[in-house]
Chain A
């Protein structure tokens, strides 16, 4: 698993990467009540705002972690946004991407670096 400074996790699954937010981010957000997902097939550039997530406290954006194409979104979150709090690193993945360049993953944080970031 790799991480961004924006508190996203990325997990490689065959030739795709699955993206979600970390447990730390989910706790900081509080109870999530709304998730707006991008359309499948959307081409994104790193730092594009791709997901809107609203908690009982505030709205936040999830940014594209790297360049690529959104190939699948987790529609379960639309009906059950609370999944983000229940299982942020499992069932509450947001989208799957086909990266422009798989080697860009190497520049992301590893688990130790991410842990250091949030401590």
Chain B
């Protein structure tokens, strides 16, 4: 493995658990453990899966920077209540997405979680516009996801049971300060837990000792989020794709919309608000290929079984273990009618794929 890859604080534990490592966003990460992607995926849907997402960026901002942050994201940060978080994205002047992130308001600060591949750029972007930007050092980030996540976590941190979806809280476990959020990226109920690196291994081992908890690698993390219809930055989201094209208009807060109390005022607002009113040229759609052949990222899409111009491309695709077949997301021309059968060209053959509503697999978040 290349020398310049970073290792996560719990690398030795991942190796001990049978992790098979791949490079990802500059880190050496476990793509799977001994049981493999399919078994890990299904385990997380039925029980509880432990993910190490310490590669992601954690950033603190002073609370008086809420307004300045609003100038970078189409999100209502000012009215975000203490103890709550919102999903959002940094937009660019062209109305594309520079990164997607979570913004939490805590007692005394704002806490952001950003993608690993973007964190250096995000921090530079924040520093160019905000004061007091403080990248969090020395804290790991774990996610515990699945229908039994609450049962498992509350054995160690009983108060976590009171948290609802998108709540954030600070709790203590064996003297270590845990920064908890009830959220995740799997389509399951669960928690993300930021904690000091020196406590992370003991915390992870305590969870893994429980019968219902198993470690889950990047492979299943990807199939879980795909089944949940959640877009991945770098594939389904990019600087060239607007939030409206990505069908993330729901995440543009009411206050920041054209008829809102603080309308616009974020990069790319003219395009994004115009698209909210009049529609975008492209749209992110869910695809259910007929047959068993997966349609992976990069597969070109067509309106017709033969001939005709391309209408778009698959941005994420693979096999959905809980769906039991291939699933994909694509970015296609908006003129293609919703629900129309489209075709993906796989190894020179055009294979039919139905446009379907996402998520492909139904969520069970605790609200």
Query: A30-63 vs B: 1/0 string, CB under 8 Å?
Result: 1101101000000000000000101011010000
Q: How far is the CA of A56 from the CA of B226 in the complex (A)?
A: 12
Q: How many residues of A contact B (CB 8 A)?
A: 12
Instruction: Answer yes or no: A65 CB below 8 A from chain B CBs.
Output: no
Question: In terms of DSSP, what is the predominant structure of the interface of chain B?
Answer: mixed
Which of B32-40, B46-54, B202-210, B237-245 contacts its partner? B32-40
> Please, which residues of chain A bring their CB within 8 A of the CB of B39?
31
Q: Residues of B at under 8 Å CB distance from A? A: 31-32, 36-39, 219, 223, 292-294, 296, 318-319, 321, 326, 347
Does B296 contact A59, Cβ atoms closer than 8 Å? yes
Q: Residues of A at under 8 Å CB distance from B? A: 30-31, 33-34, 36, 52, 54, 56-57, 59, 78, 81
> Please, which residues of chain B bring their CB within 8 A of the CB of A52?
293, 347
Does B293 contact A36, Cβ atoms closer than 8 Å? yes
Q: How far is the CA of A36 from the CA of B349 in the complex (A)?
A: 12
> Please, which residues of chain A bring their CB within 8 A of the CB of B223?
56
> Please, which residues of chain A bring their CB within 8 A of the CB of B326?
33-34
| Residue of B32, B292, B294, B347 touching A30 (CB-CB under 8 A) | B32
> Please, which residues of chain B bring their CB within 8 A of the CB of A57?
31, 37, 219
> Please, which residues of chain A bring their CB within 8 A of the CB of B219?
30, 56-57
Does B37 contact A56, Cβ atoms closer than 8 Å? yes
Does A56 contact B319, Cβ atoms closer than 8 Å? yes
Nearest CB of A to B266, in Å: 37
Q: How far is the CA of A78 from the CA of B38 in the complex (A)?
A: 18
Nearest CB of B to A10, in Å: 25
B293: nearest residue on chain A (CB-CB)?
Answer: A34
Q: How far is the CA of A33 from the CA of B219 in the complex (A)?
A: 14
Does B293 contact A54, Cβ atoms closer than 8 Å? yes
